[in-house]
Structure 1
Amino acid sequence: FAPTIDAVCERFSGRILGVVEDTENGHKRYACAEKLPCPVVSVARSPLKDPEDFLVGQSVVFSTEALMRSRGDILHGRPALVIGFGKLGSSIARLLHAKGVQVTVHDVDPVRRTQALSQGFTVARDRDAALHGAGLILCATGAVSLRGEDFSALRNGAYVATVTSSEDELDLAGLPDVYQRTPNGDHITRYQTTGHYFYLLNGGNAVNFLHGASVGPFIYLVQAEILAGVRNLARGDLGPGMHEVDAADRATIAGTWLNYFNR
């Protein structure tokens, strides 16, 4: 709703209570708005979402490896570049490392780059060189990770996968028209031009949804906080702008969840 929230609130004036936002991409869009016409309760950066984000990162690696194996390729011996070292990116990087994959990290945020370095990952000093050297690129920024001109820098035979929708992570529209797109197995597209080719997984959309993207009962923590956000909006006392669920409500949700699932 972020691109149209002003128009929606204007059209239904007095009837929009607000928005509950669950995604990092959506959080960023609302936070960048000069002025919001209604309250936005974001759970995207809640600590209750950390277990889900960690497990989503694990499922992204699982699905990426499954698609690669369907072509007879494996992770090992293929250096990986993880673009974005947030909660999803760091989870992806850790599991790849645990599988014996050489992992390089790139993030526009210098704080996150220092975090990656402190956890033993190689941090790219030259983004273009890192792109050229990687046999697997996993995009986890919630913004545009690869622009049209970046694709020509990819190593021949590289695989590209994302954790969100292609329109958010990849500027595929900016890819030169000389690239031919050819299906190369289920959910794999080969992009090829003279002397260069790479593989895009699941059309650039989140690969983990191909295998259910299940995170088990941890999803209920996030769903419960979304309901708490809806309740906060229904009370009608929040002004326009960004809001979060109270820490006390999060503690209640976590305690209730533990009583049920940690018997």
Structure 2
Amino acid sequence: MESFERARLGAYFTKITTQFLPEERAAAFLITHLLPERPGFVRAVAALSDLRAVLPKPKSINVSARREVERFVTVDTLSRDLFADPDTALDYVESRAGGERIVLLDVGGYFAPVLADLHDRFSGQITGVIEDTENGHRRYATLDKLPCPVVSVARSPLKDPEDYLVGQSVVFSTEAVMRGRGDILHGRPALVIGFGKLGSSIARLLHAKGVQVTVFDIDPVRRTQALSQGFTVARDRESALTGAGLVLCATGSVSLRGEDFGHLHNGAYVATVTSSEDELELDALPDVYTRTAVGDHLTRYRTTGHYFYLANGGNAVNFLHGASVGPFIFLVQAEILAAIRLLSLSDLTPGLHEVTAPDRAVIAAIWLSYFNR
């Protein structure tokens, strides 16, 4: 970022943090994509909480951003294993904030598997969780009983611009990878698996580029939505894969299992919008497939009579080019900051919650005053 852009972003977050000062500061743990613009947001979180650790998602770490953040806060290593075992998770949280009130800021439901156990056993108090993504929202929603408030911004109208622009960045990065070996989008029928916010955005953008798009989703409601918008809707995954030259996985859960890869059309490209551990069951792929790097961020999987290409090792393809959505990401980040204050009010019951509509309106007005120029 240029110096004047940094100054404007700093002024914006100062205005937001002044607007949403919590009644009582809590300690915080922040999971985030540590992208180039992210230090400003991290500073804002630290202004509203006693930020004990930043845990960057491992496949989206900008080296310069990490160095900048390390100057003012501890940066720890994040893995699913850290929050898969209750004892491991408890030891970690106790080591950083034992006996204190804490807020957990999440991206993708990392804390969900151990939340109930942490809530019961932690020597302090878990004030609540703030979740940023649809995938994480669903992970918390499917828990039998939430032990504390979870404020989700995943379905906020302020996130709609980000979702649309993430779809654009996915299509851009996918085409860039394909062009790296002389291929283009056109002439390759595309299959979009998952017709949620991101999947529908990707499908529309591909269609606008003149690409033939088929949609597959296990949810019959979403299938009817796709059909009403003019897309071909596959009846089953197997037949859809057989005819697709490009497969984009946008479910946030497993899109392709081990047995599905054998149905891919020869030479098909596969790309995802989340991590490989969420979208692809690569470990179940038969050992007969050999893996060969055939270009920047592109791997060919090949066995006798069959081959396909996987972009970015199965991880989110848009992160190859920074996953930038411009200043619209600052709307979502501001809502996360507002959620910190909401949790500090201490009157939320256990369960899923959202930031209020008036607070969203305040955020949008502040954002427009800084970025609608």
TM-score range (shorter-chain normalised) is: over 0.9
2:283 to 161, 173, 180: 173
**Alignment RMSD (CA, Å):** 1.1
For residues 54-77 of structure 1, the C-alpha deviation after alignment (integer angstroms, 9 at most, x for no partner) is 000000000000000001111110
For residues 144-164 of structure 1, the C-alpha deviation after alignment (integer angstroms, 9 at most, x for no partner) is 111111001001110000000
Structure number with the bigger relative contact order (C-alpha 8 A, sep ≥ 6) is: 1
Write the mapping of 1:176-215 to structure 2, written as runs, cut at 5 A: 176-215=286-325
| CA positional deviation for 1:253 | 1.1
Give the match for residue 247 of structure 1.
357
| CA positional deviation for 1:128 | 1.0
Give the match for residue 98 of structure 1.
208
Choose 65-74 or 102-111, whichever is displaced more.
102-111
Give the match for residue 60 of structure 1.
170
- Name the SS for the 1:54 alignment partner: helix
| CA positional deviation for 1:7 | 3.0
Distance in 2 separating the partners of 1:153 and 1:193: 13
> What is the letter of the counterpart of residue 264 of structure 2?
L
Q: If you compute each CA radius of gyration, which structure gives the higher value, 1 or 2?
A: 2
- Name the SS for the 2:300 alignment partner: strand
| CA positional deviation for 1:3 | 1.7
Give the match for residue 7 of structure 1.
117
Give the match for residue 114 of structure 1.
224
Distance in 2 separating the partners of 1:8 and 1:73: 49
Check if 1:223 corresponds to 2:333: yes
| CA positional deviation for 1:260 | 2.4
For residues 124-154 of structure 1, the C-alpha deviation after alignment (integer angstroms, 9 at most, x for no partner) is 1232111110000000111111111100100
Check if 1:45 corresponds to 2:151: no
Distance in 2 separating the partners of 1:109 and 1:153: 21
Give the match for residue 242 of structure 2.
132
| CA positional deviation for 1:4 | 2.1
Choose 5-14 or 133-142, whichever is displaced more.
5-14
> What is the letter of the counterpart of residue 83 of structure 1?
I
Give the match for residue 27 of structure 1.
137
| CA positional deviation for 1:13 | 4.2
| CA positional deviation for 1:261 | 2.1
Distance in 2 separating the partners of 1:90 and 1:178: 34
- Name the SS for the 1:17 alignment partner: strand
Distance in 1 separating the partners of 2:148 and 2:367: 31
| CA positional deviation for 1:11 | 3.6
Contact 2:216 2:236 in 1 (8 A): no
Distance in 1 separating the partners of 2:276 and 2:299: 13
Distance in 1 separating the partners of 2:144 and 2:202: 33
The ranges of structure 1 where at least 4 consecutive aligned residues each deviate by more than 3 angstroms after the TM superposition are none
Q: Please, which runs of 5 or more residues in structure 1 have no aligned partner?
A: none
> What is the letter of the counterpart of residue 109 of structure 1?
D
> What is the letter of the counterpart of residue 29 of structure 1?
R
Check if 1:153 corresponds to 2:268: no
Write the mapping of 1:68-83 to structure 2, written as runs, cut at 5 A: 68-83=178-193
Check if 1:238 corresponds to 2:348: yes
> What is the letter of the counterpart of residue 187 of structure 2?
G
TM-score by length of 2: 0.69
